[in-house]
Amino acid sequence: MTRGYKEKDFREDLKKLYNELTKGPNTFLFTDSHVLEEGFLELINNMLTIGMVPALFEEGDKNALIDSVRDEAKRLKLGDTP
């Protein structure tokens, strides 16, 4: 995090995280010192409660992520839903 790091920057970093997760397991560490804006907590809360951040991706970007994990989800018999 740098000076002037805002929610928009945090959202961009979350997009990078979700893209990395399509390649395999990853670890996300977030401490109280990372809470530079209250909105960060709402984004984290959404990740923990509903498993996603609403309106993080445009529809085309979201579909590309879904397609990148679809075969693995089918192989694990998790269903074929977004």
DSSP sequence for 36-78 = SSHHHHHHHHHHHHHSS-TT-S-HHHHHHHHHHHHHHHHHTT-
- In this prediction, residue 6 carries a pLDDT of 92
- In this prediction, residue 15 carries a pLDDT of 93
What does the domain layout of the chain look like in residue ranges? 7-75
- In this prediction, residue 14 carries a pLDDT of 92
- In this prediction, residue 12 carries a pLDDT of 93
| Distances in whole angstroms, Cα of residue 38 to Cα of each of 5, 18, 54 | 13, 21, 16
Which residues does the chain have with pLDDT short of 50? none
